[in-house]
Structure 1
Amino acid sequence: MTAVRTPPVAPRLRRDRRRWAWGLGGVAVLGWSLAGAGLFSGPVVNPAGVRQFGRFASAALSPAHDAEFLGVLAEATLVTVAYAALGAALAVALGAIGAVGLARTTWGRRRAGWTVSRSLLAVPRGLHEAVWGLLLLNVLGLDPWVGVLAIGIPYGAVTAKVFADLLDEVPRGGYEALLAAGAGRGSAALYGLLPSAAGGLLSYSFYRLECAVRSAVVLGLIGAGGLGYQLALSFASLRWEQVWAAVYALAALCMLADLGGRAVRRRVAAPRPAGGQAPTRDPLLTGAVVGSLALMAWSWWFLALTPATLTAGRTLDQLGYVLRAAWPPAADGDLLAAVAVAAVDTVQMSVIAIALATASALGVSGLAARRPGAGPGRWALGAGIRFALLLLRAVPPPVWALVLLFVLLPGVLPGALALGVYTLGVLGRLVAEATEEVDPRPRASLRVAGASRLGGWLYGVLPALSGPVLALALYRWEVAIRDTVLVGLLGAGGIGVLLSGRIAAFDWAAVTTVLATIVLLSLAVDLLSERTRTALR
């Protein structure tokens, strides 16, 4: 008797309630943030500033180009480059030293020590480099060390964490062999792990140099000198043609850093010779390393750094005074209430910024992505959008906030939109690169079946982008929560306004309370972001 085969039944699709809950929760938080920004409760537009905004926009076509100002701009650019080079070098050095103590491999099964060592990074990582700059200005005064240390300390903490993760990913054969031979864990990590991770470490080091250029500009806005300082002076005097000249100089500097860093990362990621051939020295990587070392030496000479400044009697006295005045933290009711209100404004600002940047980045990613074989018109359009994104991320968020305050009333919204515009410049580039890596066959199949260009992108590209875009957006949210402090330092709302006022009043006990709140807020966003990625994965 022949058994009757039952035709296979497709499994019943079920909705993942957890994902729906997280998604609806995100929409609710966005609505709460928009309401908190005053979008639904009253006027937010300042009609009186429209004319000034028009003058600012029209000056983009006629930037300052007189010889005297261009000379000032060139010197400011050199200061910015020097800060970025030495700040990145210090960050890499601190990262290399700290990575050995942070890697899970070197701790083995001692999870408590590994957890404590990672937790110690919360303070330097949680404070924006502009905050470090303000604090260091009160200790060192107007010294070039302020710019270098303000970049090197927070970037060093981030670099140590990334380097440690890279060390944990490499094969452990050499490390374990050295341990068996009697070497200590530090020496075994230095000689058994670092050589294997050298490519990734070099790639990330050059990425940090790119980021340091933008941070050096930001530090100029708080008085550390360089392009950011010149930009702030021109803005304060309403010299829009000078502002745009500085913006274009910033864009050119960022473009050079992006192109150089991308070339190094691509060369590091290129496949090695097969067939047992011995690897040859790469001229590009060798030149990049030698050039970086030469740039560091020149930067040290150009800034005239003196290590004795860090141990001078005045510096130590001022540091001791600040530390004594900062402890214990202030805990009066009025301050805590103000901190709570400012923290809520900060969260709302960051949520609006990320929502705006993510939606806009998705909208332009298809056009900004490079497509092989594209015609001249399509290539020109993509190049124009990529240049516009470069301009958006070249201009620091506080400058965008000051511009938006021409047409918007003061509050959370101008700061949120300023952060959104800046973050769009970053996310737009990253999402465009993710779009370039998506498998083109589903979209091509839909186009052959008669789908429109928009339909092919919506159903053939967007589903594949959802995971990477979500990860990038959540990562940028972690960064944005720190950048809100920077926007607030210049008066655009959030907890940075409170911090700036307390520093100006030399109320160091209150400064400690505000700084602790910023660190805790950053940690909370980091944990929530990680939980969200896990839930939606």
Structure 2
Amino acid sequence: MTAVAARPVSPVLRRDRRRWGWGLAALVAVGWSLLAAVDGEVVNPAGSVQFGRFAAAALSPALDGAFLGVLGTAALVTVAYAVLGTVLALVLGAAGAVLVARTTWGRRRLGWAAARGVLAVPRGLHEAVWGLLLVNVLGLDPWVGVLAIGLPYGAVTAKVFADLLDEVPRGPYEALLAQGSGRTAAALYGLVPQAAGGLLSYAFYRLECAVRSAVVLGLIGAGGLGYQLSLSFASLRWPEVWTAVYALALLCLAADVAGRAVRRRVAAPRRGADVLSRDRVLTAAVAAALAGVVWSWWFLALSPASLVSARAREQAGYVLGAAWPPAADGDLLREVVRQSVVTVQTSVLAIAVATAGAVLVAGVAARPAGRSARGRRVAGSLLRAALLLVRAVPAPVWALVLLFVLLPGVLPGALALGVYTLGVLGRLAAEAVEEADARPRTALAALGARPSGGWLYGVAPQAAGPALAFALYRWEVVVRDTLLVGLLGAGGLGALLASRLAAFDWAAVTTVLLATVALTLAVDLVSDRARRALR
């Protein structure tokens, strides 16, 4: 009897109902937010002339020596804030990572969840909000800029570092535990050395972000390029505004290029004769970072004594005493709920605009893997420069510009955040296209497919998942940034916070801040569930 070979059965593609459900929910949320954004009058025709002057000045920036000298000094202040803020964030993040890593807590999930919950408070508030609060305690002290960057970034860094520690092999860690070491010591000596590459790479990425945050802090009076930008903007000196914008772009480009070089070296360490050799670029980067810390401390003339001065203690006691307990009157709570809805609508519309834009530009912005036409290379370079420019300009500046032609509300805030976030997502989506497997596209080209078809069917499906995951991750960041543009009149919880801060109603300020943290946690939870559905 001859055995009959079983016929292979092709796997049946099944529709993932969770993905369809999340997709439908996203469309409903975007439609709901768009209807709220265009409800009533949104255009301010009287501001079109001023907007035209602003746009025209892009081709004629101010280049006089006196103003460039002022910008040079302001750039040094921004760099010093970014360096010291990053160092503080790394110190806090390294200490916090060991305390909140899942590995450290073992099976004690309640303690791990509580530790993670503590981190949600500092990272749930924007750096500018920290700056406004610290100004009321420390005055215009340089520590305001350093702490406003270091505290929230430290909480974010602790979370990321903890995740990196949880992903490395646990063999050395468990061996140290078996020899009687404590969990903290075992984590320091058994986990940290293995994760050192990823930790160093993220540290330089955080420095890039700190440069942009230092600019934002300048908008609220902390000094630096942001402060000079706000002064020129307030006096309607558009050529000076564009000079400051281009200076910001160059500074962000320098941080971006340096960070990218370091991360590339960490990802692919040098070898000599099959043995890991010292990388001079990484050694120089670490040495430059240490020298930068010393110089920044000297340049800003920081004094630890100012943190514990009698005035600081008195102001801190007054603010804390006035801020607790939070205000709970009915009118305020109803307003908090209403403005929370506005904040969600603004963030949803902003991330939708940024995601749609990133999908459109990712293919052209990505660097070609092989040889390509000169026109394609030029178009890609110009588009990458444009993305750098829109993410170098802080979202509040985009909001102020849009408020020339749009009335205050959801729409200007959403568009401002959407444009800024497009600069970030466009870059990330382009990198996802660059990292996609080239074989499907090559196979389609061999079968006679056009380049557009090869990209659409061979590259886009691979890049779609990472791009959507990046967008969902950025949604939490956009919620925090919504508070910032709201401070400038774009609506939402930021506008409510600004009015309460102006009235020194600290109990109401606490209520608004708690609502902001709760909203950020809720968005983080929804975003995490949606990312799981995409895997």
Shared fold (TM-score, shorter chain, > 0.5): yes
Distance 1:47 1:145 in 2: 43
Distance 2:283 2:10 in 1: 57
- What is the match of residue 461 of structure 2? 463
Which structure 2 residue ranges, 5 or more long, are not aligned?
none
Change (3 A) 1:128 1:174: same
Comparing 404-413 and 290-299, the one that deviates more: 404-413
- What is the match of residue 259 of structure 2? 261
Distance 1:103 1:212 in 2: 24
SS at match of 1:65: coil
How far off its partner does 1:50 sit? 1.6
What is the root-mean-square deviation in Å for CA atoms of aligned residues?
Answer: 1.6
Distance 1:308 1:2 in 2: 91
Residue by residue over 1:413-443, the C-alpha shift from the partner in whole angstroms, topping out at 9 and shown as x without a partner, is: 0000000000000000000000001122222
Query: Residue 226 of structure 1 aligns to which amino acid in structure 2?
Result: G
Comparing 370-379 and 228-237, the one that deviates more: 370-379
Residue by residue over 1:291-312, the C-alpha shift from the partner in whole angstroms, topping out at 9 and shown as x without a partner, is: 0010110000000000000000
Distance 2:40 2:443 in 1: 49
SS at match of 2:271: coil
SS at match of 1:120: helix
Residue by residue over 1:155-209, the C-alpha shift from the partner in whole angstroms, topping out at 9 and shown as x without a partner, is: 0001111111111222233323333333322222222222221111111111110
Distance 2:236 2:141 in 1: 28
Distance 1:285 1:275 in 2: 19
Distance 1:302 1:271 in 2: 34
- What is the match of residue 413 of structure 1? 411
Change (3 A) 1:325 1:13: same
Distance 2:397 2:201 in 1: 30
SS at match of 2:489: coil
- What is the match of residue 449 of structure 2? 451
Query: Residue 265 of structure 1 aligns to which amino acid in structure 2?
Result: R
- What is the match of residue 230 of structure 1? 228
SS at match of 1:63: coil
* Aligned with residue 130 of structure 1, among 128, 131, 152: 128
* Aligned with residue 202 of structure 1, among 191, 200, 203: 200
**TM-score of the aligned structures, taking structure 1 as reference length:** 0.96
Distance 1:11 1:198 in 2: 42
- What is the match of residue 351 of structure 2? 354
Distance 1:340 1:322 in 2: 25
How far off its partner does 1:377 sit? 1.9
- What is the match of residue 281 of structure 1? 278
Query: Residue 225 of structure 1 aligns to which amino acid in structure 2?
Result: G
- What is the match of residue 302 of structure 1? 299
- What is the match of residue 42 of structure 2? 44
* Aligned with residue 287 of structure 2, among 290, 293, 307: 290
Change (3 A) 1:4 1:208: closer
Report 1:301-450 matches (<5 A): 301-371=298-368, 372-450=370-448
- What is the match of residue 55 of structure 2? 57
How far off its partner does 1:140 sit? 0.4
- What is the match of residue 21 of structure 1? 21
Q: Is the 8 A contact 2:125 2:516 kept in 1?
A: yes
SS at match of 1:409: coil
SS at match of 2:415: helix
Query: Residue 20 of structure 2 aligns to which amino acid in structure 1?
Result: W
How far off its partner does 1:474 sit? 0.2
* Aligned with residue 487 of structure 1, among 468, 475, 485: 485
Query: Residue 217 of structure 1 aligns to which amino acid in structure 2?
Result: V
Distance 2:86 2:533 in 1: 35
SS at match of 1:15: coil
Change (3 A) 1:270 1:11: closer
Residue by residue over 1:34-71, the C-alpha shift from the partner in whole angstroms, topping out at 9 and shown as x without a partner, is: 0111x2x4442222222211111111111000011111
Which structure 1 residue ranges, 5 or more long, are not aligned?
none
Residue by residue over 1:313-348, the C-alpha shift from the partner in whole angstroms, topping out at 9 and shown as x without a partner, is: 110110011111011110111111111111011000
Query: Residue 36 of structure 1 aligns to which amino acid in structure 2?
Result: A
Comparing 317-326 and 107-116, the one that deviates more: 107-116
Query: Residue 342 of structure 1 aligns to which amino acid in structure 2?
Result: Q
Q: Is the 8 A contact 2:432 2:466 kept in 1?
A: yes
Aligned length: 534
Report 1:106-121 matches (<5 A): 106-121=104-119
Query: Residue 51 of structure 1 aligns to which amino acid in structure 2?
Result: V
Report 1:20-99 matches (<5 A): 20-37=20-37, 39=38, 41-99=39-97
- What is the match of residue 238 of structure 2? 240
Identity across aligned pairs (percent)? 72
* Aligned with residue 189 of structure 1, among 182, 187, 190: 187
SS at match of 1:491: helix
Distance 2:329 2:450 in 1: 62
Q: Is the 8 A contact 2:270 2:279 kept in 1?
A: no
Distance 2:249 2:19 in 1: 39
Residue by residue over 1:471-511, the C-alpha shift from the partner in whole angstroms, topping out at 9 and shown as x without a partner, is: 10100101101110011111111110101111111100000
Change (3 A) 1:119 1:48: same
Change (3 A) 1:286 1:5: closer
Report 1:131-210 matches (<5 A): 131-210=129-208
Distance 1:348 1:208 in 2: 28
* Aligned with residue 517 of structure 1, among 515, 518, 524: 515
Query: Residue 320 of structure 1 aligns to which amino acid in structure 2?
Result: G
Comparing 389-398 and 490-499, the one that deviates more: 490-499
How far off its partner does 1:95 sit? 0.7
How far off its partner does 1:3 sit? 6.9
How far off its partner does 1:6 sit? 7.7
Distance 1:300 1:350 in 2: 37
Query: Residue 34 of structure 2 aligns to which amino acid in structure 1?
Result: L
Distance 2:432 2:487 in 1: 33
Comparing 462-471 and 27-36, the one that deviates more: 462-471
- What is the match of residue 216 of structure 1? 214
Query: Residue 521 of structure 2 aligns to which amino acid in structure 1?
Result: L
Distance 1:246 1:160 in 2: 33
Residue by residue over 1:373-421, the C-alpha shift from the partner in whole angstroms, topping out at 9 and shown as x without a partner, is: 1232221111100000000000000100111111212211000000000
Distance 1:5 1:293 in 2: 68
Distance 1:274 1:28 in 2: 56
Distance 2:14 2:164 in 1: 38
Q: Is the 8 A contact 2:270 2:278 kept in 1?
A: no
Q: Is the 8 A contact 2:270 2:277 kept in 1?
A: no
**TM-score of the aligned structures, taking structure 2 as reference length:** 0.97
How far off its partner does 1:458 sit? 1.8
Comparing 415-424 and 160-169, the one that deviates more: 160-169
